[in-house]
């Protein structure tokens, strides 16, 4: 009986006793079931069919070009109004992009807080642009 170990002796690290199921605690490292989305082919990047972000960037470039040309040629209400309209269009197109991306983020169970903040900032920007236009044009 010299070579035998008493019951409950440590056989190897992390295992005590002959019966591992006897009064043991649940193992936190056991594999939990992996939850999958209904569609495993979820795109990793938001890619809409019609890119409103590209359209808004184009409108912004056109608006800034009009602003630079109008300031070089002299300010007029027409050029200021056209510049203001393109900048408002930029903010609105970007808002449409943000709504679509936010919907996609919610569907793919990702955080959409950043898109919500961006959307609110764009909607705040539209009245600010219009007010600045009226101040510059009529004062």
Distance CA 39, CA 57 (A): 32
Q: Tell me how far apart the terminal alpha carbons of the chain are, to the nearest angstrom.
A: 106
In which band, very low, low, confident or very high, does the pLDDT at 8 lie, cut at 50, 70 and 90? low
Query: Over the stretch 85-99, which tens digit does the pLDDT of each residue have?
Result: 888 899 899 999 999
List the chain domain ranges: 52-138
Closest Cα to residue 100, out of 53, 134, 31? Answer: 53
- 117 has a pLDDT exceeding 90: yes
């Amino acid at each position: 009986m010299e070579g035998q170990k008493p019951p409950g002796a440590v056989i190897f690290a992390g295992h005590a006793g002959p019966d591992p199921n006897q009064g043991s605690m649940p193992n936190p490292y056991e594999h939990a079931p992996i939850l999958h989305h209904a569609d495993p082919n979820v795109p990793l990047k938001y890619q809409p069919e019609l890119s409103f972000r590209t359209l808004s960037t184009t409108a912004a470039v056109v608006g800034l070009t009009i602003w630079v040309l109008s300031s070089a040629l002299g300010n007029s209400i027409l050029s200021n109004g056209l510049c203001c309209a393109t900048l408002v269009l930029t903010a609105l197109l970007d808002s449409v992009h943000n709504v679509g991306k936010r919907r996609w983020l919610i569907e793919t169970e990702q955080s959409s807080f950043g898109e919500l903040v961006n959307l609110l900032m764009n909607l705040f920007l539209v009245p600010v642009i219009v007010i600045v236009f009226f101040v510059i044009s009529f004062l």
